[in-house]
Amino acid sequence: MITILTPAYNRDYILPQLYESLRHQTNQDFEWLIVNDGSDDNTDCLVSGWMKEKRFFQMRYIKTENGGKHRAINRAILQVYTPWVFIVDSDDWLLDDAIECVEKWIKTVEPDPSFAGVSGLRGYTANKQIGEFPSEICTGGYIDATNLQRRRLHLTGDKAEIYRTSILREYPFPEIEGETFITEGLVWNQIAEDGYKIRWFNKIIYITDYLEDGLTKNIDRVRFKNFRGYTLEVKQEMGQKGFYKYRILGRYCLMAEEKGLKRDEVRRLLSITQVQYCIGKLLSFIQRLRSKMENRGKTA
């Protein structure tokens, strides 16, 4: 049995879409745990009505003060009693056979403690996947890899990860006073750094709609407002191999400049060398120049 964990902040207008997708699951042996992250909309009444309806899956509802998705997950994980957790965002929904499929793949890794979990694909639709999956692996196949190996293996883009509850309790999200966002990738990479693998299977099970008020569409603004958390994310990335990390550093340098941070402070925060900083500044200049050219093209 697994727990579907959904943090929700002012999503009463879209949450019914997820609820209906859960009611249509071919396997109803799961619990839906909704965490109201300090919403001031109609979420309470909405969920209260669902609690009274006849359904075949279990349902629980908890409320917290608004602190961001990562804090809501931390609080909820302590109350999960099933061995597996599937975090499903409040503005997304699952295909009818998602839980049936997940349960099947969990059985293939459950006896092996080196696996932190399994993951299917997300899609814009049931037939259009988000990101990449290794082209040599046919539909229904899989690849075993850590989260840190994804870029090299062409496993890019948002995926539908299901983690062991025990692992998520061992790796809570950092909570920084005054900030309300930490990227999930920070924790997924910490788990990978300790050698834990994921079994990534080639099937879309999760449909994502990147809404205008969502985190993904507003990620730069969110990172700027939660700069210390963003610094942790970039510092972790700078410890990885390859050149891609410098593209991330370039973007960070742009925001650091807006924040008024000087060279030595950036180097200290990220624990990087003078050469690395110079590469980041060069890429930030190129990114700024490209952005200006794109804006000119739009106004021409």
Question: pTM for the complete prediction?
Answer: 0.92
Instruction: Kindly indicate the confidence band of residue 216, based on its pLDDT and cuts at 50, 70 and 90.
Output: low
Amino acid at 164: R
> Tell me: the pLDDT tens digits for 81-100?
999 999 999 999 999 999 99
Indicate the fold that domain 2-207 takes in CATH.
Spore Coat Polysaccharide Biosynthesis Protein SpsA; Chain A (3.90.550)
Contact 116, 193 (CB under 8 A): no
Structural domain spans, the chain: 2-207, 238-299
Compute the distance between CA of residue 159 and CA of residue 6 in angstroms, rounded to an integer: 16
Inform me whether the pLDDT recorded for 229 exceeds 70.
yes
What span, in angstroms and rounded, lies between the C-alpha atoms of 212 and 200? 29
Quick check: 285 pLDDT over 90? no
Nearest to 33 by CA among 7, 11, 52: 7
Q: What is the pLDDT of residues 248-284, one digit of tens each?
A: 999 999 999 999 999 999 999 999 999 999 999 999 9
Give the Cα separation of 189 and 185 in Å (integer): 6
List the structure tokens of 41: 């909309």
Query: Residue 228: its pLDDT value, please?
Result: 96
Q: Which of 207, 196, 4, 198 is nearest to 118 (CA)?
A: 198
Question: Which DSSP category does 79 fall into?
Answer: T
Supply 134's token pair. 């290794």
